[in-house]
């Protein structure tokens, strides 16, 4: 059985957060967060791990290994927030324009109907809150704003939840990396730390699912 370190080592270089950050700096980080937040082709990009690792870079955790990369945490936070919100806005507008045609679009290497259907099911179960919750679920994060647009969700409502979701996810995960960046265990076990962050980030979704099931049982009892 492959170890976690081996699996990470086998990832393409362009998906390795450390290499992305060291080679592309702010612009590549913001570009990836924008793409993963609402472009169909962005669903495979490493959003959670990239934010957490970027926060660690800003804390100086990699100053020895990457002396040429110097991040200002405030520039990073503002840029990530804007990119996350803008990405979802584009996804929503694309969904609104494409509409039902999206659901009859054939599969391709970069597009799978199952991803769209998963996001639609997620959106139907959670309503407008799905825009916030989806931020913490890979793949669903990319397709949820598109589904919201295709379903003609009220624009003002979408913007409100989009801004909240972009703040909690973009700033929250990055800040977590910043404050944990110089913890020895985190620095020495980055792969495990990233998995822990992903696991913790889906807690709100688990809580919502449990709440939804509890409400359904109540209605069934009534």
> How confident is the prediction for the chain on average, in pLDDT?
80
Q: 172 versus 115: which is more confidently predicted?
A: 172
The reported pTM is 0.78
Percent of the chain that is helix, strand, coil (3-state, to 5)? 80, 0, 20
Domain assignments of the chain as residue spans, ordered by start: 13-221
Q: In the structure encoding, which two tokens stand for residue 186, read together? A: 């985190």
Q: State pLDDT tens for residues 69-125.
A: 899 999 999 999 999 999 999 999 998 888 767 766 666 655 667 767 777 777 777
The 10s digit of each residue's pLDDT in 126-149 is 788 889 988 888 888 888 898 888
> CB-based contacts of 131: which residues, under 8 Å, 6+ apart?
88, 144, 145, 148, 158, 161, 162, 165
**Exposed/middle/buried for 79, CB within 10 Å: 0-12, 13-18, 19+?**
buried
């Amino acid at each position: 059985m492959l170890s976690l370190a081996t699996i990470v080592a086998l990832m393409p270089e362009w998906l390795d957060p450390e290499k992305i950050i060291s080679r592309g700096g702010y612009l590549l980080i913001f570009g990836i967060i924008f793409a993963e937040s609402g472009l169909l082709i962005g669903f495979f990009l490493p959003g959670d791990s990239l934010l957490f690792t970027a926060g660690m870079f800003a804390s100086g955790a990699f100053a020895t290994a990457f002396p040429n990369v110097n991040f200002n945490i405030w520039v990073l936070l503002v840029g990530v927030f804007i990119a996350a919100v803008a990405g979802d806005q584009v996804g929503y507008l694309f969904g609104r324009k494409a509409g039902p045609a999206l659901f009859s679009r054939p599969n391709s290497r970069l597009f799978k109907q199952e991803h769209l259907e998963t996001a639609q099911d997620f959106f139907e179960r959670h309503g407008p809150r799905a825009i916030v919750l989806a931020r913490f679920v890979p793949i669903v994060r990319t397709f949820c704003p598109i589904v919201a647009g295709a379903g003609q969700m009220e624009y003002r409502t979408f913007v409100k939840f989009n801004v909240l979701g972009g703040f909690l996810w973009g700033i929250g995960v990055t800040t977590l990396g910043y404050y944990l960046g110089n913890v020895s265990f985190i620095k020495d076990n980055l792969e495990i730390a990233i998995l822990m962050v992903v696991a913790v980030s889906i807690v709100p979704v688990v809580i919502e699912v449990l709440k939804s099931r509890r409400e359904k049982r109540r209605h069934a009892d009534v």
